[in-house]
Amino acid sequence: MHLNVKKMLVAAILTLISFGCTHTEMAHKDEGRANIPFFFEEGARAPVAKPVSDDGWRRASMAFPTGLESTSNILIEKVFPKTVHKGQPYHYLINVTNLTELTLDNVNVIEKFPSSFAVGKTDPEIYDTSGDRVAWALGKMKPHETRVIRVDGVANDTAGVPCCTEANFQVPALCLNTTVVDSGLEVSVNAPSESMMCNPIPVDYTVKNTGATTLRNVTVASSLPSQLTSDGANSINLNVGELPAGKSQTIQAMVMAAGTGDYNLSGSANGTPVSSYSGSKGFDNISADANTVTTNVKKPALELAATSNREKQYVGRSIDLDYVVTNTGNANADGTALVASVPANTAFQSATNGGTYTPTSNTVSWALGNLSPSDSRKVSMTVGGSTAGTGTTSGEANAVCASAATASTGISMVGISALLLEVIDVNDPVEVGKSTIYEIRVTNQGNATATNIGLTGTFEDDMSYITSSGNTPISNAGKNLTFGSFSLAPQEVVSWQIELKASGVGDHRFGIEMNSDQLTRPVSETESTTIY
């Protein structure tokens, strides 16, 4: 084929092809619309069909864009009269046929009228006019559909009416529809707003697959604030596993706090989308961050004070021991209880606030109930001193989630050494020259030992010392007697016998004076004896 012919065919395929209306030699199309022979007029830009005569009408057709129906999309056939009269109206037809099995889009037919042709009307109506060109927009054309355009007009001179037709259209793109699925993941965290420090904090993570494909290897992870641990670690790692599309799962972690205060809890979830579609590529993990919740960790704290109502008390007398339990923490101290010991040198007598005495442990117990923050409870026990000396009471307070609080106080029980001095004469009256025996007895009637007890004795001139015996040795110097010092336990009794001889008539006096560490002044006892 000649090179110019090839260029013209390419131009026709890529843009548009036109052919004339009347008085222009065109190739004809046979009844079977077989291959159309083409020729080119001098200066022509597109192939035109060679016309044939048929009872006063001419028919010419063109297949776009190749010129061959077997390889083209649109067939345009023009039917027009061979001869018309100047100034007389006539019409011609443009038949547009979709040759394909596809629906063609944006089909447009464009006609160029010569100045010698006056357009009357068209069916369908012209939708666009630009200079000597008009266009009909046929829009979509179904497979093998034919549309007919009728043009009415008048030839104004005898020079002929060369009407050229062009067509353009859009072949539908080769499209396919791939289903697009969304792989979505959401995670939320929930924890109590308050918790006791001794209790584990339940932290719930709800993971939801918001997408349209299954997620595998779904996990939840969170770094915990300082002083929070989960299974001994400072982080949370939970395995959710496989999560089908649209499903959710809640998984829980238990967290322990080592201190009080506000703790922020959050986390993130990860998962791998599963694809079952041919040609799909493996996905990377998708992740989602959780919201943040705050848990305030609280703890009760107990404080215990122990005091006595007296610094010291005498043995045998009562003394009150007071205990005050205070909740210095920021949470209720539930089930507060106190146990206090009874001092070893005392005996339990009574207790306030329902205190219960247990003889086997020598303790008193109180159930104090719940103590609000800053709340206090005061209880007391009354004991009696059994022996002198210093004793100690120790108390321990406990409550739920609170560390034990302890306190102690000492008490001083003071004993009394109540010394009784007695002096009696065995014989009275006494005849001159005879002797009599004086019996001296010392009794500690008190409850404390009397120490460094000393006795001295005197007798008058009408008596003389013979002998003595008793608890301690006695020395005689003239009319004076000196006893050896000693101690005397409570309720202990000691005695001496002193023999004196009457040497003169009269009312004789025998005297004893007693001192000890506990006495602030001497105790004296005098016995009268008649001598005749």
Residue ranges and CATH numbers for the domains of the chain are 3-170 (2.60.40.10), 185-276+283-297 (2.60.40.10), 302-414 (2.60.40.10), 419-531 (2.60.40.10)
Across the range 163-183, mean pLDDT stands at 74
pLDDT band at 161 (very low <50, low <70, confident <90, very high): confident
Across the range 317-329, mean pLDDT stands at 95
Spatial separation of the C-alpha atoms in residues 234 and 525, rounded to whole Å: 87
* Interior/surface letters 142-172, b for 16+ CB within 10 angstroms, e for the rest: eeeeebebebebbbeeeeebbbbbbbbbeee
Which pLDDT belongs to residue 390?
Answer: 87
Which pLDDT belongs to residue 263?
Answer: 97
DSSP classification of residue 8? H
Claim: this prediction has a pTM higher than 0.85: no
Strands (DSSP E) contained in 142-183 are: 146-155, 164-170
Q: For the ranges 9-23, 34-48, 254-268, 332-346, which has the lowest average pLDDT?
A: 34-48
* DSSP helix/strand/coil, 137: strand
For 192, the token pair is 């109590």
Which pLDDT belongs to residue 151?
Answer: 93
The predicted-structure confidence for 296-309, as pLDDT tens digits, reads as follows 999 999 999 999 98
Between residues 185 and 280, the one the model is more confident about: 185
Residues 6+ apart with CB under 8 A from 508: 430, 459, 460, 462, 463, 502, 528, 529, 530, 531
pLDDT surpassing 90 at residue 128 = no
For 4, the token pair is 């110019």
Which pLDDT belongs to residue 4?
Answer: 38
Which pLDDT belongs to residue 283?
Answer: 58
Taking a C-beta distance cutoff of 8 angstroms, is the pair 399, 336 a contact?
Answer: yes
pLDDT surpassing 80 at residue 279 = no
pLDDT surpassing 80 at residue 37 = no
pLDDT band at 176 (very low <50, low <70, confident <90, very high): low
Spatial separation of the C-alpha atoms in residues 113 and 130, rounded to whole Å: 11
The predicted-structure confidence for 466-482, as pLDDT tens digits, reads as follows 999 999 999 999 999 99
Across the range 327-338, mean pLDDT stands at 96
Q: For the ranges 113-117, 376-380, 506-510, which has the lowest average pLDDT?
A: 113-117
Which pLDDT belongs to residue 508?
Answer: 94
Query: Apex CA 298: angle with CA 235 and CA 207, to 5°?
Result: 40
- CA torsion 175-178-182-183 (nearest 10°) is -140
Which pLDDT belongs to residue 158?
Answer: 80
pLDDT band at 39 (very low <50, low <70, confident <90, very high): very low
Which pLDDT belongs to residue 45?
Answer: 37
Across the range 148-163, mean pLDDT stands at 86
pLDDT surpassing 50 at residue 483 = yes
Residue 343's CB: how many other CB atoms inside 10 A?
A: 27
Spatial separation of the C-alpha atoms in residues 19 and 60, rounded to whole Å: 9
Between residues 415 and 1, the one the model is more confident about: 415
pLDDT surpassing 90 at residue 24 = no
Which pLDDT belongs to residue 33?
Answer: 34
Q: For the ranges 92-106, 270-284, 347-361, 496-510, which has the lowest average pLDDT?
A: 270-284
The predicted-structure confidence for 425-477, as pLDDT tens digits, reads as follows 999 999 999 999 999 999 999 888 899 999 999 999 999 999 999 999 999 99
Taking a C-beta distance cutoff of 8 angstroms, is the pair 65, 9 a contact?
Answer: no
pLDDT surpassing 60 at residue 221 = yes
Which pLDDT belongs to residue 316?
Answer: 83
* Straight-line distance from the first to the last Cα atom of the chain, in angstroms, rounded to the nearest whole number: 194
452's enclosing H/E stretch is strand 450-459
pLDDT band at 8 (very low <50, low <70, confident <90, very high): very low
Between residues 44 and 83, the one the model is more confident about: 83
Which pLDDT belongs to residue 92?
Answer: 92
Calculate the average pLDDT of the chain. Answer: 86
pLDDT surpassing 60 at residue 43 = no
Query: Do the bridges between strand 376-385 and strand 346-351 make them parallel or antiparallel, or are there none, so unpaired?
Result: antiparallel
Between residues 36 and 316, the one the model is more confident about: 316
Which pLDDT belongs to residue 183?
Answer: 74
pLDDT surpassing 80 at residue 524 = yes
pLDDT surpassing 60 at residue 48 = no
Spatial separation of the C-alpha atoms in residues 396 and 305, rounded to whole Å: 10
pLDDT surpassing 70 at residue 21 = no
Reference 216, options 273, 268, 269, 275; nearest CA is 273
Query: Do the bridges between strand 48-49 and strand 38-39 make them parallel or antiparallel, or are there none, so unpaired?
Result: antiparallel
Between residues 174 and 97, the one the model is more confident about: 97
